[in-house]
A and B are shown apart, each in its own frame.
Chain A
Amino acid sequence: MRNFMTKAIPIATIAIFILIMTSGGYLKRPLGDEDSFSKMIEDITTDVNDGAWDRADSNAKNLVNTWNRIVIRIQFSTEQEEIDDISTSLARLHGAVAAEDKTNALIELKEAYNHWINIGK
């Protein structure tokens, strides 16, 4: 039994470490309806294209909250720069929506989505 444990414990430890380090791709997947980053990006894009700025503003706030929840899950398996880039894009998006600036809002949405695709890869 002891011989088995001396081999099993290191193998299990390494397996857990690998799981933690590669879990980004899985953990960024939505846990519920209000947890889908990509769907929220799509919704805001529609709002911006339709000129529904109040709804876009509300959705942008929700997107930031959702993003903050996701960061807690994926922080151990992603690079800090990618997380910071998304946070910056979302802050700029919020500003562009507040200024009702369609061009910049769409640019930030695309950039945030691009970072989102790359995260946890």
Chain B
Amino acid sequence: MNEGLVVLVRAIIAFFSLLIFTRLLGKEQISQLTFFDYVLGITVGSIAAELTVDLTSRAWPHFIGLLTWATLGYLMEIVSLKWRYAAKYLEGEPTIVIMNGKFMEKVLKKMKFRASDILELLRNEGIFDVNEVDFAIIEPNGKISVLKKPEYLPLTPKDMNIKVSPSGISTELIYDGKIIEENLIQMKKDRKWLMDQLKKQGIRDASEVFLFLLNPAGSIYIDKYSDNMKNPIDIGDYKGPY
């Protein structure tokens, strides 16, 4: 038995099985994961690791374990999507921990949160004075959502009756020196327009550009490979190399 070869083949099986199963489980970001999703991820990853290197047992039982966990995770997602009560039961629901500026002590006790934990979460959100908070809600993923008191809310153009045009989402027209034709068509522009814009910035060829972004409002962002920075700021403490 060639152990190296067997581990190689098993690693390929585990890697692509994990890839396919996680794609099937959805596109939730790490920050959106509930505690159960987190544990599910660790368990599935652990089974995949055992599938790869545990040669004392066949790959098949490990694969069945992997498949079962992934399927159950998928079923839980389906149930949560279709049945609102189940979603609340399985994933938890948002909990108000500060209401009208007052801490909800009983809720904190039930959730096993200390006031200092809430203050820490608030500081993470850039709030250092609890007096600014009207409502604070702990989301199922453990993050805090804060509604500030009206007097602490930032001024918006609407408050000032200022008309603004929507900026929209920027689209890449040049990436890594290459023109992306599909995006040009999508933005209803052509190569001639693009080259004119580059010329205005003193750029002769698209290959000089690292990134060219255009948003629907017509705003352009260009980053060249040569940034011509005379004194770039170094925030590192040591010279390196790392």
Contacts and interface: CB of A to CB of B under 8 A. Distances in A.
A10 B59 CA distance: 19
Interface residues of A, number: 20
Nearest to A24: B58
Nearest to A78: B58
Interface of B: 1-3, 5-6, 9-10, 13, 16-17, 20, 23, 55-60, 63
Nearest to B63: A21
30 contacts: A10-B23, A13-B16, A14-B17, A14-B20, A17-B13, A17-B17, A20-B9, A20-B13, A20-B59, A21-B58, A21-B59, A21-B60, A21-B63, A22-B60, A71-B1, A72-B2, A75-B1, A75-B2, A75-B5, A75-B6, A76-B6, A76-B9, A76-B59, A79-B55, A80-B1, A80-B6, A80-B55, A81-B56, A83-B1, A84-B1
A59 interface: no
Nearest to A87: B1
B138 to A, nearest CB: 37
Interface of A: 10, 13-14, 17-18, 20-22, 24, 71-72, 75-81, 83-84
Contact of A10 (B9, B20, B55, B63): B20
A52 B6 CA distance: 39
Grouping DSSP codes into helix (H, G, I), strand (E, B) and loop, the B interface class, with mixed when no group exceeds half, is helix
Contacts of B10: 76
Contacts of A84: 1
Contact of A77 (B2, B5, B20, B58): B58
Contact of B20 (A13, A18, A21): A13
Contacts of B13: 17, 20-21
A14 to B, nearest CB: 6
Nearest to B59: A21
Contacts of A83: 1
Given A21-B59, A84-B1, 16 more contacts: A10-B20, A13-B20, A14-B20, A17-B13, A17-B16, A20-B9, A21-B13, A21-B58, A22-B60, A72-B2, A76-B9, A77-B58, A77-B59, A80-B55, A80-B56, A83-B1
B15 to A, nearest CB: 10
A71 B10 CA distance: 16
Task: Sort A-B residue pairs by CB-CB distance and give the 10 closest, nearest first.
Answer: A80-B55, A21-B60, A10-B20, A21-B59, A17-B13, A75-B1, A83-B1, A79-B58, A79-B57, A76-B9
